[in-house]
Amino acid sequence: MDSGNSGGARPPRTRRKMQRVTMSDVAKAAAVSPSTVSLFLRKPSAVSERIASRVQRSIDELGYVPNYVAGGLAAAGSKVVSVIVPSLRNAFFSETVAELERLLARGGLQTLVGHTEYSLDQEEALVRAALSWAPAAVVLTGCRHNAATRKLLLRSNTPVVEMWELGGQVIDQAVGFSHEQVGRHIARRFIDQGYESAAFIGARLDEDFRAAQRSEGFLAEMQEAGITARLVENSAPASTSNGVRLFEEVCMNPVRAIACSNDTLALGVLFEAQRRDLSIPTELALAGFGDLDFAAQMVPPLTTVRPAADKIARKVAECILRPQAETDRQNSPFPTEHDTGFTLVPRASG
Amino acid sequence: MDSGNSGGARPPRTRRKMQRVTMSDVAKAAAVSPSTVSLFLRKPSAVSERIASRVQRSIDELGYVPNYVAGGLAAAGSKVVSVIVPSLRNAFFSETVAELERLLARGGLQTLVGHTEYSLDQEEALVRAALSWAPAAVVLTGCRHNAATRKLLLRSNTPVVEMWELGGQVIDQAVGFSHEQVGRHIARRFIDQGYESAAFIGARLDEDFRAAQRSEGFLAEMQEAGITARLVENSAPASTSNGVRLFEEVCMNPVRAIACSNDTLALGVLFEAQRRDLSIPTELALAGFGDLDFAAQMVPPLTTVRPAADKIARKVAECILRPQAETDRQNSPFPTEHDTGFTLVPRASG
DNA sequence: CTTGTAAATCGTAGCGCTATTATCTGTTGC
DNA sequence: GCAACAGATAATAGCGCTACGATTTACAAG
């Protein structure tokens, strides 16, 4: 219509594009080909120094910012790692995410986070979204997932790391420890101290499988030692105020020792005990899980279990980064577990 | 070699490709064109019901997972929002990120997090990386950034939201409140109670500009009221154990009231005061910032300031989501500030 | 039956980059 | 001086998808 369209000339497509400096712009400015710019960016040592400096100057002058989206498409795989945790409000996970992000950034990987609020369906949705980014790896928390999630992951052929828990059916790689053992160790300590009644305080045990396992380990060990121990739980989050509430419930039927599913809950117990003039550990022994920063500062200091959080993050990062390094070796086809262990930290509270 | 290559047949390029189900595969299986599948995915209402169900069935059967990387490239802009915070260890930010992620997910946006460890150079690096994803928006913490960051953002033409602080030179949109005012309000409370000496305890004030502003507001208000107030700080993180350390330093030269740059620090002060048998608030008044969950549970409960954290997250999400909704209206070219305010929460500690 | 019009579907050209092959430089050895 | 060779640079073909216009279909009106 508007052009001499006899041969095959088409009206020029109006294509919206990001108005941004592209690699070709840089190439033009540096008077080299786009491939050379690309090569320089990916492997600077492969281009001559003369060209390198010219390209670098053009990049700086134009303020070129590479487009990972295009890069990811061309290279069949993006440089993101998707990390999915139950909750960022939980100090364990926010710390792990933070550390992981730091470590992965060194390897040139970006971290995409998602949180499931302890819902397996939500997890499935997040995994689906994550896979849409053709991620370099997917990191999940725990080893319980619904069937769809598992299938999605398996057929995607993406490296998967499950962290903070061991003992399930591993998809690809798992880094963590046994929560049941944690519960047993705490129980063992109470038993050794000769306490004759105990309770386990837990929040959201129906969704937080790891906390539930700790409670089970605790109760089992207690029972095996012939000590009465009961479980007091609710479905509110594991907060200090919920610790207060749960402890109030325990008090209706007092016990000699309390194990909490984590330190935050224990802090609530401590405060409420102070309010009730209950002396710790003389009248009530208290233990937590996590060894969060405040645990050692509490009055009295809190007996707790320290998971090797940093070790977990490091190991997970390693699982993701290593395969990249060894290009010629294919991923080991066998699921692997890495036990990072934990430490009982005995302090004055119980 | 392997084909009848006389005309112009080239040896087939061995192109690694993600071995994954593509949209064309789905189209083929559903006997429609790829564009129809794409249309169905983006705007299901635009295709007939008959076709919709056929396409959906093929998607399910093949286990098709869309490739956002390709989509982002074609659509000139990805569906990620990059959120950059100083630290995920800080409960404010981990909560904000969590809430933001939740809200943005509803709008079909994914959250990419980065944390700067309170370094402006690190922030620049993260912004650079973020922009490489052609993000739908970038969310930053605070309104102090180095010149390069600012320039990068400005020329990128990406929506930018700065959160948790007001008062700087806004790039695009800002959501937060005045930290100086927070400091002044706490001071005002101490003044009204008639305390005659005070200290402000702060961690990392050289990097945490917001905490620094709170301290400045506090000290200024005190000085204007003619009350001696000093600043005690160090460069360790704002943890409970650091609160203990900083309080020990204050004790070498006791004061009647202490304001902490946040609740976590105040918790340390409480514990150390208990250890020293110092009664709160009779001998020492204490105030914090944040109103974290444990603040109300402390013995005595902590006087603190509650920032409208959820409101911040909601407003930020709104700033990002709204422009998408109103397609025909272009972004307002004027930087905007939204003040979310804060609340002084008076409790027994001071 | 034709025609007109709206709705549904399709065809195609890139988005900006990377991987791969092809081409072009210089060097060295005889 | 020229072949042989390595090292540096360039040309090219997509990656999988979306936007846009073009085409087809469905259906009402004439």
For chain B, list the domains and their CATH numbers: 23-66 (no CATH), 76-177+310-341 (3.40.50.2300), 179-307 (3.40.50.2300)
Residue type, B124: E
Q: Do A297 and B98 touch (CB under 8 A)?
A: no
User: Closest protein residue to C10 using CA and C1' atoms?
Assistant: B33
CA B15 → C1' D13, Å?
9
Q: B281 forms bridges with which residues in the sheet?
A: none
Residues A42 and A24: their CA atoms lie apart, in Å, by 15
Which DSSP category does A163 fall into?
A: E
Task: Give chain D positions with protein CB within 7 A.
Answer: 8-22
Q: Are strands B304-307 and B342-345 parallel, antiparallel or unpaired?
A: antiparallel
* Low pLDDT (below 70) residues in chain B: 1-18, 323-333
Query: Is the CB of residue A265 less than 8 Å from the CB of residue A246?
Result: yes
State percent of chain A over pLDDT 90: 80
In chain B, count H helices and then E strands: 12, 12
Asked whether residue A114 carries a pLDDT value surpassing 60, the answer given is yes
What would the pLDDT profile of A116-174 be if each residue is shown by its tens digit? 999 999 999 999 999 999 999 999 999 999 999 999 999 888 999 999 999 889 999 99
Q: What is the pLDDT of residue A121?
A: 94
* Closest nucleotide to A20, Cα to C1': C16
Q: What is the mean pLDDT of chain A?
A: 90
What would the pLDDT profile of A208-237 be if each residue is shown by its tens digit? 999 999 999 999 999 999 999 999 999 999
Secondary structure, 3-state, A270-297: HHHHHHCCCCCCCCCEEECCCCCHHHHC
Residues with CB under 7 A from strand D: A 11, 13-16, 31-36, 39, 46-48, 50-51, 70, 73-74, 76; B 10, 13, 15, 17-18, 20, 22-24, 34-35, 38-39, 41-42, 66-67, 70-71, 73-75
